[in-house]
Amino acid sequence: MSALEKQSILIVDDEANNRTVLMEMFKNHYKVILAKSGEMALELAQKHAPDLILLDVLMAGMSGYETLEQLKAKDVTREIPVVFITALDGSVDEEKGLLLGAVDYITKPFHPAIVRARVKNHLRWVRQKQLLERFAMFDPLTELPNRRRLDRLLAADYEPGKKISIAMIDIDFFKKINDVHGHSFGDRVLQLVSDVFRETIAASGGQIARYGGEEFVAWLPESSREMAEQICERIRATVQSLEIDHLTGVIRVTVSIGGATSMIDENGKLPSNIVDRADQAVYEAKSRGRNCVVWDVI
Ligand code: GH3
Ligand code: MG
Ligand code: MG
């Protein structure tokens, strides 16, 4: 999400009139998605991940309350704030809606200006939360996903039986680079090699995260061991060929890479030791003289 992108609202109401009224109120400022039932809302919420949902309570088929419960039951939709807009104006109904996790409860007939103001406030919070999440998941120096983001990727669910490869990349003699050329030069090296990683991995459909100091973890879904090794070899060779300018002349750096390939298990999980295996392999790469790729030595 870029900071300037239009935010999106999913409007759920089984009456066409109500949908039109609400759409007219918001279409100039937000991207509006319409659903005429709870079932349709669940589908569209999963597909589009809207920033806010305006949800009717009394609907043919699934009620708004049930729809909210279903939204809360799924990882991808759980965090989307839901505002009820309903003709049910009893305090018991309102309490029920709020206890189910709605962020707001607006009764019909409503004042358009007030609904607009409330929606604007909710969406401001959404934007701030998304920005914070972004900061929390990315490393500021290299702008790569960080360890926290990687841990999420490692814990996520995948299609059982598919192959996955993990590679650990470690810059060689990086402490010496810092000691000899200075810490800020070291930072620049981290940025330049990160650019190489990002470009090479993105072209292969994978991801790369900064794991810690000068260690990175590449994530190569659906790649055989041979393919993953080839990608890593390309990374190794490209880093070696970088000519990094420094006051004292051109500096070159190298990386050692260790990888492991596994099958996603029947529960859709990665083997828990896959990162350790990649770590062992990089250790072996170091002991073989560095600037090389070693695959799964266990
Ligand atoms: P090896 O070839 O065995 O990997 O040796 P190495 O010197 O690369 O490894 P070591 O783990 O001894 O040193 C890593 C260094 O990375 C030490 C630390 O100061 C430096 N480092 C970690 N994070 C940063 C950073 O953000 N910026 C800079 N400039 N240096 C960093
Ligand atoms: Mg190192
Ligand atoms: Mg290291």
Report how far ligand 1's centroid is from the alpha carbon of 1 (Å): 32
Does the active-site annotation cover 24?
no
Q: What pLDDT is stored for residue 61 in this prediction?
A: 94
CA-closest residue to ligand 1 atom 23: 213
Compute the C-alpha angle 102/100/44, nearest 5°.
60
Kindly give the number of the ligand 1 atom that is closest to the alpha carbon of 174. Answer: 8
* Alpha carbon distances (Å) from 79 to 45, 51, 70, 289: 11, 9, 12, 48
Which of 174, 185, 215, 244 to mutate to test ligand 1, by most ligand atoms within 8 A of the CB atom? 174
CA-closest residue to ligand 1 atom 5: 173
Report how far ligand 2's centroid is from the alpha carbon of 180 (Å): 15
CA-closest residue to ligand 1 atom 19: 175
Which residues make up the environment of ion ligand 3, defined by Cβ < 5 Å? Answer: 170, 215
CA-closest residue to ligand 1 atom 24: 213
Report how far ligand 3's centroid is from the alpha carbon of 145 (Å): 18
Measured from CB, residues less than 6 Å from any atom of ligand 1 are 141, 170-176, 178, 183, 186-187, 190, 213-214, 286, 290
Q: Provide the sign of the torsion angle of the four alpha carbons 98, 100, 104, 107, taken in this order.
A: negative
Catalytic residue among 214, 215, 233, 266: 214
- Output the tens digit of pLDDT for each of the chain's 298 residues: 455 689 999 999 999 999 999 999 999 999 999 999 999 999 999 999 999 999 999 999 999 999 999 999 998 999 999 999 999 989 999 999 999 999 999 999 999 999 999 999 999 999 999 999 889 999 999 999 999 999 998 998 889 999 999 999 999 999 999 999 999 999 999 999 999 999 999 888 899 999 999 999 999 988 889 999 999 999 999 999 999 999 899 999 999 999 999 999 999 999 999 999 999 999 999 999 999 999 986 5
